[in-house]
Amino acid sequence: MLEHVIAAWLEQGAAFKGGAGIVSADFADEVGLELAELSPATRAALGQLYPAWMPVANPVDLFPAIDKNGPGVYRRAFEILCAAPEIDAVLFHFFGLRPQEDVFDHMGETIRRSGKAVVGWALGRRDVLEGMQRRVAEERIPIFRELFRATECMAAVLRQRARGEDTAAVRSEGVEIPAEIPARLADARGSLDEHASKQILGAVGVPVVEERLVASRDEATAVAARLGFPVVMKGLIPGTVHKTELGLVRLGIAAEGEAAAQFDALTEAMKGAGSVLVQRQVRAELELIVGLIRDPQFGPCVMLGLGGVMAEVFRDSVFAVAPLSHVDALRLIGRLGAQQLLDGFRGALPVDRDALARLLVCVGQLGCACVSIQEIDINPVMISNGQPVAVDASVICSG
Q: State how far the Cα of 287 lies from the Cα of 173, in Å rounded to an integer.
A: 26
Give CATH 3.30.470.20 domain extents, the chain: 286-397
Partnered with residue 389 across adjacent β-strands are 382
CA 238, chain centre distance (Å): 27
Task: Give DSSP secondary structure letters for 175-212.
Answer: ----THHHHHHTT--EEPPHHHHHHHHHHTT--B--EE
Q: Which residues of 238-267 are buried (b: 16+ CB within 10 A; e: fewer)?
A: eebbebeeeebbbeebeebebbbbbbebbb
Neighbours of 337 (CB within 10 A): 13
Partnered with residue 190 across adjacent β-strands are 397
Q: Is 179 exposed, middle or buried (0-12, 13-18, 19+ CB in 10 A)?
A: exposed
pLDDT recorded at residue 373: 95
CATH homologous superfamily of 3-163: Succinyl-CoA synthetase domains (3.40.50.261)
Give CATH 3.40.50.261 domain extents, the chain: 3-163
Q: State how far the Cα of 381 lies from the Cα of 356, in Å rounded to an integer.
A: 9
- Region at 140 (left for phi over 0; alpha for psi -120 to 50; beta for the rest): left
Instruction: Please tell me whether residue 381 adopts helix, strand or coil conformation.
Output: strand
The alpha carbon dihedral of 62, 67, 71, 76 has a sign of negative
The alpha carbon dihedral of 208, 213, 217, 218 has a sign of negative
CATH homologous superfamily of 210-280: ATP-grasp fold, A domain (3.30.1490.20)
The alpha carbon dihedral of 55, 58, 64, 65 has a sign of positive
Long-range pairs for 244-252: beta carbons < 8 A, 24 or more residues apart: 248/274, 251/281, 252/281
Instruction: Please tell me whether residue 357 adopts helix, strand or coil conformation.
Output: helix
Instruction: Please tell me whether residue 125 adopts helix, strand or coil conformation.
Output: coil
Give the dihedral of Cα atoms 265, 271, 274, 280; nearest 10 deg. -10
Q: Which fold has domain 286-397?
A: D-amino Acid Aminotransferase; Chain A, domain 1 (3.30.470)
pLDDT recorded at residue 32: 87
- Global pTM value: 0.68
CA nearest neighbour of 369 among 139, 170, 140: 170
Low-confidence ranges of the chain (pLDDT < 70): 1-18, 97-103, 163-174, 309-313, 399
CA nearest neighbour of 363 among 184, 155, 175, 213: 175
| DSSP-assigned letter for residue 351 | P
Q: Which residues of 272-297 are buried (b: 16+ CB within 10 A; e: fewer)?
A: eebbbbbbbbbebbbbbbbbbbbeee
